[in-house]
Structure 1
Amino acid sequence: MTRKEIQIKRIENPSARQVTFSKRRRGLIKKAHQLSILCDAEIALIIFSSTGKLFEFSSSSNEQIIQRRIDLLSEKSLNPFPGPQVKDAAGALLCKEVAERTREVRQMRGEDLQELSLDQLKQLEKSIKDGLARVSQAKMERITSEIMALEKKKTQLLEVNNYLRMLVKINAANEALKNRPKRIPENRLLLVGDDGACSNLGFDTSLKLGLPDQSK
């Protein structure tokens, strides 16, 4: 009968989870011990359970292995180009310069300051203050430039808004003139027929003052 494959996911039952943890922890420590003996390897194993208990195993000393790991990380940070040693002088000089610049950047961020003297720390502090002043100046210039651009855009929008308001008033005035009723001249006599049509008789009904014309 084949062994049933166990699905790798979190065990929800606390009791079953604790039993599985104890079994697998002992097996893991046993395998680490065998690997250290068979392959002459330095192994450090640190385990924290879900309840916060510490379990550890080390083939020699946890502190020595951890320090060896820290030293290896430091060497990698100083030499960002791992691989074969560069034999030519130009390549070696370039690697050295990159390592120095990397160390300077770390020191600017407040790291690896133990090896610096008091004068070097003062010089580093001055450089950081000067750089901060330049950053603040560049920030203020950028803010001023953006404010001026926004003010210019605001002025343009106000001009467009005033122009549109003027067009609306002109259109409203034109519509009012177009819809105004036409008035009939008061000095004309109109005849209304049976069909409701109006005809202009052409009589002048305006009032004239003075003596009648004797020549007629």
Structure 2
Amino acid sequence: MARGKIQMRRIENVTSRQVTFLKRRNGLLKKAFELSVLCDAEVAVIIFSQKGRLYEFSSNSEIRKTIDRYRRSTNGADTYQANMEQYILHLKQETTDMERKIELLEVSLRKLSGQCLGSCSIDEIQEIGDQLERSLSSIRERKAQLFNDQIQQLQAKERSLKEENEKLLAKCLANPGQSTAHPRAAAIHSRSSWSTDVETGLFIGLPES
């Protein structure tokens, strides 16, 4: 015969309720013991009867150690949850502040470009003009600095080329026979020896008949 389904409600009969409590209590404690042994789990069960009697089981030597471990775990979880909530609120506040700053910067940029000036007062217009003057002054200073740097680089390159030419000329004058090894030296050597290579028709004496 199949066992009937028990309704989950308070048993009205006091005797039946007491018998059911004893059976279920023993079964619960037995299951807790089996779970701790089979699964190597730390299990603790605390039961108070209707009359206030305490029944307990702990796989640890002392149930208080399990209770302390439970408190540490729950307190750590609560602390972590509180910290996460506080961190999320902080991020939301930072996001709101950043959006406000970006909006202000966009408005300022539009005003600097000559837009949305209808709502500006005379003082604001004057401040925008002064800021533009300062920006132009900084741009001109930077431009002049770049030009000066470029001029210095060109002057240094010119000095380097002059020194190289002077070294080549000195080398050609010191070794005229080896001047043909370099195109510039060859040109200098050809100009220096041109006067000795040209034949002239000048002679002293009577002309031949």
Same fold (TM over 0.5): no
Q: Greater helix share, 1 or 2?
A: 2
**Larger Rg, first or second structure (1 or 2):** 2
Please indicate the TM-score interval, normalised by the length of the shorter structure: 0.3 to 0.5
Q: Greater strand share, 1 or 2?
A: 1
